[in-house]
């Protein structure tokens, strides 16, 4: 039995059935998944991350945990629990790993390691695979005392140009893992040596409340309830309030096109993630910039905008923006494309593998470019519609949960055959 320390909290997920996905991806792909899962039956898998709500990792785990359970693996999901200063430090890691300048102080390192150490108490026994998500619990491997199986570090952020000081602090921990997963090969610099380095892009769940079908009437009803007029043009960005997502740049784009597109409305939806202390600061800046313009609608989970609300906004949009400056993947891009909407995304990280420039949206590098492309799509609705349809098929092919689970099962099967490289390995 697993014995997890008091600070770690278990997250329960709603059960899901793999066969429900047959109408979406076909029986062949589901059978392949079942075949890959067979040798892993009853294997114990632990997922550990920093938050059960807000942001992409929580979104991914809700589906992956449930579907892997349904495929016969014995899967747990736990989240860390730490003091606010711990999350201040780990948000600095996040920003620095995406290229923010600065040097970590000894005090920051101490706060981080102490937080991990506290969470590691009592962790863990008898897991065959442990997936540690992102930098927050990365050092856990150094503090756990129990012998366990294969340790996998899954990095979800854009480390294409990391701050070297922070990378140097975290790299020795990464090196101890049996396998390390990044989203893209460009996130790993030449010369980096990690065991079983694997690249797996994230994915969305087509049957989740956020991505399942929604009738137009229902969408419109929700729009009215949020004071948005569904009959006027709508542009939307759904993102945490994070400087890398550039919500202020999106307001600039909206202002630039306002004179050309009569009645245009901008919707910014952003959840406040438990592990993101910067959220409220960025939110305040957004509100100041939006000022008295009531056609800019800013909503958060505190306004009761949950999965269905996000879906309704994505469905109501004429154009979806994801104007990120750095982006690990950007689930919101796949979510938008799945709703058959063209997406204009910052030419960054994982957005580049989702948007085929000019086919299902546009990749942009400036406010000016984002303005031109948004205007173009709003003025050419037929082209926009066709791009949206193309985008949905790309997501079906490459960015649904089925493919991501398949990639993980392939890795687990491979690791199962290898001796461990961690000091705590019992197999």
Which of 95, 271, 360, 374 contacts ligand UDP by CB under 6 A?
Answer: 271
Which of 158, 335, 404, 406 contacts ligand UDP by CB under 6 A?
Answer: 335
Residue 56 lies near ligand UDP (rule: CB under 6 A): yes
Q: What is the signed CA dihedral for 235, 240, 245, 248, rounded to 10 degrees? A: 60
Separation of alpha carbons 153 and 116, rounded Å: 15
Stretch that binds ligand UDP, among 33-41, 214-222, 265-273, 280-288 (CB under 6 A): 265-273
Q: Which of residues 70-109 bind ligand UDP (CB under 6 A)?
A: none
Cβ(201)–Cβ(405) below 8 Å:
no
Separation of alpha carbons 303 and 305, rounded Å: 6
Query: How many residues would you count in the chain?
Result: 427
Stretch that binds ligand UDP, among 114-122, 173-181, 235-243, 352-360 (CB under 6 A): 235-243
The per-residue b/e assignment along 76-97, b for 16 or more CB within 10 angstroms, e otherwise, is bbbbbbbeeebbebbbbbbbbb
Given the complex with ligand UDP, which of 36 and 204 has the nearer CB atom? 204
Binding-site size, ligand UDP (CB under 6 A): 17
DSSP state, residue 326: S
Of 133, 176, 121, 167, the C-alpha closest to 4 is 121
Residue 59 lies near ligand UDP (rule: CB under 6 A): yes
Separation of alpha carbons 68 and 42, rounded Å: 10
| Chain residue at closest Cβ approach to ligand UDP | 56
Separation of alpha carbons 169 and 243, rounded Å: 23
Site string for ligand UDP, 278-307 (x = CB under 6 A): -----------------------x------
CB of 404 to ligand UDP, least distance (A): 13
Stretch that binds ligand UDP, among 181-189, 218-226, 236-244, 285-293 (CB under 6 A): 236-244
Residue 247 lies near ligand UDP (rule: CB under 6 A): no
Which of 133, 240, 339, 408 contacts ligand UDP by CB under 6 A?
Answer: 240
Given the complex with ligand UDP, which of 149 and 349 has the nearer CB atom? 349
CA-to-CA dists, residue 151 to 90, 141, 181, 325, 333, angstroms:
21, 8, 11, 31, 30
Given the complex with ligand UDP, which of 56 and 115 has the nearer CB atom? 56
């Amino acid at each position: 039995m697993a014995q997890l320390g008091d600070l770690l909290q278990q997250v329960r997920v709603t059960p899901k059935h793999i066969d429900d996905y047959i109408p979406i991806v076909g029986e062949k792909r589901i059978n392949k998944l079942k075949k890959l899962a067979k040798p892993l039956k009853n294997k114990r898998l632990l997922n550990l991350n920093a938050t059960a709500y807000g942001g992409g990792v929580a979104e991914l785990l809700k589906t992956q945990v449930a579907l892997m359970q349904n495929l016969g693996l014995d899967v747990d999901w736990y989240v860390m629990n730490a003091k606010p200063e711990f999350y201040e430090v780990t948000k600095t890691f996040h920003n620095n790993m995406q290229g923010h300048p600065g040097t970590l102080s000894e005090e920051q390192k101490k706060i981080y390691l102490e937080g991990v150490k506290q969470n590691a108490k009592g962790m863990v026994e008898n897991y065959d695979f442990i997936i540690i998500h992102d930098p927050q619990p990365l050092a856990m491997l150094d503090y756990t005392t129990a012998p366990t199986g294969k340790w996998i570090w899954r990095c979800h952020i854009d480390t294409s140009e990391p701050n070297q000081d922070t990378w140097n602090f975290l790299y020795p921990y990464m090196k101890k893992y049996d396998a390390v997963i990044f989203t893209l090969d460009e996130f790993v610099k030449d010369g980096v040596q990690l065991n079983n380095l694997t690249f797996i892009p994230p994915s969305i769940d087509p049957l989740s409340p956020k991505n399942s079908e929604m009738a137009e009437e229902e969408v419109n009803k929700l729009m009215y309830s949020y004071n948005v007029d569904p009959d006027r043009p709508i542009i939307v960005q759904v993102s945490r309030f994070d400087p890398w997502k550039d919500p202020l740049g999106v307001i600039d784009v909206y202002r630039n096109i306002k004179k050309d597109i009569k009645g245009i409305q901008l919707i910014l939806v952003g959840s406040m993630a438990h592990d993101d202390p910067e959220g409220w600061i960025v939110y305040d800046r957004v509100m100041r910039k939006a000022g008295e313009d009531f056609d800019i609608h800013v909503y958060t989970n505190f306004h009761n905008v949950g999965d269905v609300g996000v879906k309704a906004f994505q469905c109501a949009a004429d154009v979806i923006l994801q104007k990120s400056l750095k982006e690990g993947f950007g689930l919101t891009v796949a979510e938008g494309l799945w709703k058959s909407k063209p997406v204009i995304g910052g030419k960054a990280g994982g957005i580049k593998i989702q948007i085929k420039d000019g086919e299902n949206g546009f990749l942009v590098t400036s406010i000016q470019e984002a303005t031109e492309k948004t205007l173009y799509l709003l003025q050419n609705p037929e082209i926009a519609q066709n791009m949206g349809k193309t985008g949905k098929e790309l997501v079906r092919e490459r960015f649904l949960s089925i493919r991501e689970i398949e990639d993980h099962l392939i890795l687990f099967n491979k690791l199962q055959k290898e001796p461990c490289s961690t000091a705590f390995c019992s197999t």
